[in-house]
Structure 1
Amino acid sequence: MLYKEIHIGKFIKERVDENEITIERICKFLGKDEGAIEAMYDSKSMDTDLLLRWSKLLEYDFFRLYSSHLILYAPPSAINKSQQKSEKTPYFRKNIYTQEIKDFIMKRILSGEMTQSEVIKEYSIPKSTLHRWLQKSDNVNG
């Protein structure tokens, strides 16, 4: 799953198809008609309250897609960290990797799509962290 470009409607439609949820059930749960549901499938973004309802209906945390995007594509820089601490604003720690992110990264390396150095550069993952993941992968597969 690619986290760089998030089209939430497509992800929702995919999950609906996987779970074989009927349009009638969706309409009833969300209080919308079929046309509105179809329009949501075409939407690149949507209101958070609505996304929360979809998450409950489909038993999937769609917000995780956005968290994964932040971890992979918007890690805080050293300058921003010091500013954020002094301003008491929240900042996103890049050292919290979900299993989905680890799997995504490992799949890209093991398939040859990216090299280890490309992953380190593109996603700002520390070399030692990546090597630990690779070691665990070898232990599981070996």
Structure 2
Amino acid sequence: MKCSENEITEMYLQENLPTDTLLRWSKLLEYDFFRLYSQHLILYAPPSASFKEQTSSKLPHFRKNIYTREMIDFILEQIETGEKTKRQITSEYGIPYSTLCKWIAKHNHEVLAIEN
């Protein structure tokens, strides 16, 4: 990083970091810090977000149907601990109820396979 220990400590304590600095940290630590933000966008994007108006654009569009394993585990943990109900998950995160039920069924199947 070509900086002193004090500068690194200051970076750690900052509320915001420039993206180029965050990218350097991601490469150095071999951890994708940007994934945290993209997962947040996926979870909290409005469910009615439509991209039909942007079809003529050459820019990539944001897809809500991409859920990482970490996100699925986080959501299932909220249900298992009783922190949120299935209906709260579907309304807050915009996840279809059928998708949530599939995750729960798959998760239970994986738990049973690990225990045996």
TM class by smaller structure: 0.7 to 0.9
For 2:28, give the aligned amino acid.
L
- In structure 2, stretches of 5+ residues that fail to align are none
Distance in 1, Cα, partners of 2:19 & 2:11: 13
1:2-57 superposed Cα distances (whole Å, 9 cap, x missing partner): xxxxxxxxxxxxxxxxxxxxxxxxxxxx1112222111111222112211111112
Q: Is the 8 A contact 2:26 2:32 kept in 1?
A: yes
Q: Which residue does 1:6 correspond to in 2? A: none
Work out the CA distance in 2 between the residues paired with 1:85 and 1:39: 43
Higher RCO structure, 1 or 2 (CA under 8 Å, sep 6+): 1
Match in the other structure for 1:74: 45
* TM-score, length-scaled by structure 2: 0.87
CA RMSD of aligned residues (A): 1.6
Give the share of equivalent positions with the same residue, in percent.
54
Conserved 8 A contact 2:75-2:89: yes
Which of structure 1's runs of 4+ aligned residues deviate more than 6 A? none
Q: Which amino acid aligns with 1:114?
A: K
Paired residues, number = 112
Are 1:110 and 2:80 an aligned pair?
Answer: yes
Quick one: which of 122, 138, 141 aligns to 2:92? Answer: 122
2-structure distance, mates of 1:128, 1:82: 24
CA distance in structure 2 between the partners assigned to 1:85 and 1:45 by the alignment: 33
Q: TM-score, normalised by structure 1?
A: 0.72
| Matched residue SS, 1:108 | helix
Deviation of 1:67 after TM superposition, in Å, equals: 0.8
